[in-house]
């Protein structure tokens, strides 16, 4: 029996999220670096201002694991990411809408929210999905129930969540893929992008759809296909553009080549978002090539396992070498964890299986990434990003080698 995709009125939100009457999104480019393609800017949403370059902690189901919204605000975070796929399955968009939208539901009054369209999640569950022109039929990873996620429904769900920035529903193919598969995915991504824009226009006629909408460039690691994709997406009225289909196993060198290629095409006056990047070296290199926004679970996921990034490289705090170390995780960090706790205590918490260890390490992880992009922003504004980048990479690489040898 086939699955009927929901029509425009099938997404029932009993109590719509609080949203502005008109879209409140604007981006302003403030400075570019003479020695690289790095940019500093800011954009505004109805929930505040976001400085770029920006790193977005990932709160997949409406929570950055182990952290409260106050923790995120204390770390300087002004935007976070949540996920359409997970939230539509649990607790459901109707529940989030009834609670007044995702900001109110999770008590996030500290800034903006960007929601992924869910495309990555449904495509990554390759054994549970079926791609059609209408959308993706898939089975829930929670209970095996059947669902359809179409470009239109992805927009309606994100609107129902009350997001500030929504993402277009795209077709991501797993690499390696045949040239024919990549070509077909690009064509489908472009068609789905237009359908998503059309759905937002319909919602706006109803006084909804006030979120910004970003298009996602696809094409894998085929430079010609990525150029062909953006030649069509770039003509559409998106509020920003994302670089999709990268950092999925192709390697840093090739990934950065694609970033440089895409950013050369992307319009100067709109924000650029590199999806799924969170290693400090990747962040600094992506910024050097013109990226404005990034997100990734890597810093907090690693932190929960006892590994954190510091100003001088990677530190595996679980190691026995830190059993009597009275220093903080990072002597140069002013986060709440580094202000009070020693490496010895953090190690004790991890080897004892105490949840507090994961929480304290996560506090540092978010603060470190937000601080890193803020320092990068300052360097861009002061016209010294090339020097900042060189110094960072030299220092981080030397310490990374030491950390790896101690693991």
Alpha-carbon distance 209 to 166, whole Å? 10
* Burial class of residue 7 (count of CB atoms within 10 Å of its CB; 0-12, 13-18, 19+): exposed
Report the DSSP beta bridge partners of residue 58: 81
- Whether the CB-CB separation of 203 and 180 falls below 8 Å is answered with no
Q: Give 29: exposed, middle or buried? Use CB within 10 Å, 0-12, 13-18, 19+.
A: middle
- Inter-residue contact 167 to 159 (CB < 8 Å): no
245: alpha, beta or left? (left if phi > 0; alpha if psi -120 to 50): left
What is the C-alpha separation between 32 and 381, in angstroms, rounded? 7
Maximum Cα–Cα distance for the chain, whole Å? 64
Say if residues 138 and 147 touch (Cβ distance below 8 Å). Answer: yes
Selected catalytic residue, list 33, 262, 295, 330: 295
Between 355-381 and 385-406, two packed helices, what is the crossing angle to 10 degrees?
150
Is residue 295 annotated as a catalytic residue, yes or no? yes
Of 156, 160, 128, nearest to 142 by C-alpha is 128
List the beta bridge partners of residue 32.
39
Q: Is 198 a catalytic residue?
A: no
Identify the CA nearest to 45 among candidates 69, 27, 68: 27
Q: Catalytic residue among 71, 116, 292, 330, which? A: 116
* Omega prior to 176 cis, within 30 of 0: yes
Strand-pair partners of 81: 58, 114
The C-alpha atoms of residue 292 and residue 358 are separated, in whole angstroms, by: 29
The catalytic site residues sit at 116, 295
């Amino acid at each position: 029996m086939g699955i009927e995709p929901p029509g425009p009125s099938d997404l029932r939100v009993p109590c719509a999220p609080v949203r502005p009457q008109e879209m409140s999104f604007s981006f302003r480019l403030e400075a570019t670096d003479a020695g690289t393609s790095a940019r500093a800017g800011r954009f505004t949403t109805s929930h505040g201002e976001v400085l770029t370059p920006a790193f977005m902690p990932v709160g997949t189901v409406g929570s950055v694991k182990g952290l409260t919204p106050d923790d995120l605000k204390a770390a300087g975070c002004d935007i976070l990411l949540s996920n359409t796929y997970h939230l539509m399955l649990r607790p459901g968009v109707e529940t989030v809408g009834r609670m007044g939208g995702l900001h109110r539901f999770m008590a996030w009054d500290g800034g903006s929210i960007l929601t992924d369209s869910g495309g990555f999640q449904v495509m990554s569950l390759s054994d549970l999905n079926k791609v059609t022109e209408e959308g993706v039929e898939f089975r829930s990873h929670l209970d095996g129930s059947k669902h359809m996620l179409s470009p239109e429904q992805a927009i309606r769900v994100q609107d129902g969540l009350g997001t500030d920035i929504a993402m277009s529903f795209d077709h991501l193919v797993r690499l390696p893929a045949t040239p024919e598969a990549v070509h077909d995915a690009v064509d489908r991504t472009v068609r789905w992008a237009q359908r998503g824009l059309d759905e937002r226009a319909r919602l706006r006629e109803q006084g909804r759809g006030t979120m910004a909408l970003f298009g996602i460039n696809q094409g894998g690691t085929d430079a010609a296909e990525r150029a062909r994709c953006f030649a069509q997406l770039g003509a559409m009225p998106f509020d920003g553009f994302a670089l999709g289909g990268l950092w999925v196993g192709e390697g840093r060198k090739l990934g950065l080549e694609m970033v440089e290629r895409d950013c050369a095409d992307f319009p100067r006056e709109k924000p650029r978002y590199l999806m799924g990047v969170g290693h400090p070296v990747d962040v600094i290199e992506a910024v050097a090539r013109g990226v404005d926004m990034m997100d990734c679970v890597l810093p907090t996921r690693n932190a929960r396992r006892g590994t954190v990034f510091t100003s001088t490289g990677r530190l595996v705090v679980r190691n026995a070498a830190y059993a009597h170390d009275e220093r903080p995780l990072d002597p140069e960090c002013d986060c709440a964890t580094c202000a009070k706790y020693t490496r010895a205590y953090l190690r004790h918490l991890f080897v004892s299986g105490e949840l507090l260890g994961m929480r304290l390490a996560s506090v540092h992880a978010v603060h470190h990434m937000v601080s890193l992009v803020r320092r990068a922003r300052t360097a861009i504004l002061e016209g010294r990003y090339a020097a900042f980048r060189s110094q960072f990479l030299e220092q981080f690489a030397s310490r990374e080698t030491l950390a790896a040898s101690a693991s």
